[in-house]
Amino acid sequence: MSINLIARFGRERARRSLESSFAQFQADRAVVGLSRQIAKNESAIEELLSQAVCHLGDFLEYAGIRREIKEVETLLSKRDHKKSFDNRQRARLEADLSDLRKGMRNHSCHACAQREDHSRFSEKAGRLNRENDGLHARVQSRTHVIAKTFDQICQVLTHLDYIEGEKPTTQGKILTKIYAESDLLLTEAIRRGVLDELNAPELLSVVSTMIFESRNADNVAPKMPSPRVSNALADVISIWAELEELETEYGVKTQRQPDAGFCWVSYRWANGNSLQNVLKGTDMSVGDFVRSTKQLSDLLNQIAAASEKLRPVCKDAVKRIDRGVVAFLMGDL
């Protein structure tokens, strides 16, 4: 669910945008997969039913009688095994079974020479129809969850004054320019001035916590480049905790916890250290470093577009990290 999309268009326009686009509204891979299976089954059902057409009459009606007979026979067998019904119940079921068998024998399709072939095709179609009933229920349930999440996010954004009815607020317009996973957290940090006093290496060091995800949780406190980075990051974590509490109140979770695993590495790279020195003592590969730096560069450009005040320092930060192996390999990633 896109917080950015909701902030950009307001509640109702964002909902219409989502609902008008199958790919967006059903972006959940499970729902897309279920929908594809339903379509595949429907095509197979159509083919099977075409092969079950009988020249003597309505074979689907005949197949329905056969299915009811089987269901009653199964019920009688289970009840006999469990001895869970009295003689009146048995007599009623046996009478129903007798009527069904009589109706089957009197049906026009009963005399068809290809009766059993038609029956196999109709039974397969029936199984696929029952499967599709279950798949439709799962899709409906899943899309209900998506719609519910949409409303919950709208409530969070309304509470924080990012949207007001149909329109994004001034703060909401800043959010529309941020596309990171932690878009709301970053926008709140911008709004509260957490990043205002940082120089370029410090800024990118703090911002890196919103794009980086450590591969292992060793519970070792990452090294901080400077007191100002430490203080700013403490503020960011405090904001994240506030958002976490607010989103929990509304039953949704959209913001990943900041990860300081790239702070020191990115800070040193921005200050001109060599790649060998930057990666020394870490378990980060060159490829991982370049990918993370590219993400960081993209996010800095988004901040520059969103905040006029931070634009100069963001541009400086991008220049500092777009060098060496990063500049050489960035276009290949």
The whole-number pLDDT of residue 84 equals 57
Whether 313 and 200 have beta carbons less than 8 Å apart is answered as: yes
| Residue 93 DSSP symbol | H
Spatial distance between the Cα atoms of 28 and 25, rounded to a whole number of angstroms? 8
Mean pLDDT of 150-166: 85
Q: How confident is the model at residue 35 (pLDDT cuts 50, 70, 90)?
A: confident
Residue 164: phi, psi to the nearest 5?
A: -135, 95
**Would the pLDDT of 25 be above 50?**
no
Residues 238 and 133 in one domain: no
Query: Which residues does 178 contact at the CB level (< 8 Å), separation at least 6?
Result: 4, 186, 187, 299, 302, 303, 306
The encoded tokens of residue 6 equal 């909701």
Residue 163's SS3 state is strand
**Would the pLDDT of 89 be above 60?**
yes
Convert the pLDDT of each residue in 215-233 to its tens digit: 766 666 788 999 999 999 9
Give the CATH number for residue 324. Answer: 1.10.3380.30
Mean pLDDT of 26-35: 68
Strand 163-164 and strand 167-168: the pairing is antiparallel
Residues 152 and 18 in one domain: yes
Residues 188 and 145 in one domain: no
| Residue 37 DSSP symbol | H
Domain span at residue 34 reads: 14-157
The two counts, helices (H) then strands (E), for the chain are 16, 2
Q: How confident is the model at residue 333 (pLDDT cuts 50, 70, 90)?
A: very low
Residues 127 and 199 in one domain: no
DSSP 140-152: HHHHHHHHHHHHH
The whole-number pLDDT of residue 73 equals 87
Spatial distance between the Cα atoms of 231 and 237, rounded to a whole number of angstroms? 10
Whether 224 and 230 have beta carbons less than 8 Å apart is answered as: yes
Mean pLDDT of 18-39: 62
CA angle 295, 232, 199 (to 5 degrees): 70
Residue 55's SS3 state is coil
Looking at the whole model, is its pTM more than 0.75?
Answer: no
Q: Is residue 2 in some structural domain?
A: no
Residues 186 and 146 in one domain: no
Convert the pLDDT of each residue in 251-289 to its tens digit: 888 899 999 999 999 999 999 999 999 999 888 999 999
Q: How far apart are the first and last CA of the chain?
A: 26
Spatial distance between the Cα atoms of 47 and 9, rounded to a whole number of angstroms? 44
Residues 203 and 327 in one domain: yes
Q: Is residue 4 in some structural domain?
A: no
Least Cα distance to 205 among 257, 287, 268 occurs for 268
Q: Is residue 278 in some structural domain?
A: yes
Residues 66 and 131 in one domain: yes
Residues 151 and 203 in one domain: no
Q: How confident is the model at residue 5 (pLDDT cuts 50, 70, 90)?
A: low
Q: Is residue 170 in some structural domain?
A: no
Residues 152 and 181 in one domain: no
Residues 92 and 228 in one domain: no
Burial (Cβ within 10 Å: 0-12, 13-18, ≥19) of residue 318 = buried
Element (H, E) at 242: helix 227-250
Domain count, the chain: 2
Spatial distance between the Cα atoms of 289 and 201, rounded to a whole number of angstroms? 16
Which of 19-23, 61-65, 233-237, 251-255 ranks highest by mean pLDDT? Answer: 233-237
Spatial distance between the Cα atoms of 45 and 65, rounded to a whole number of angstroms? 19
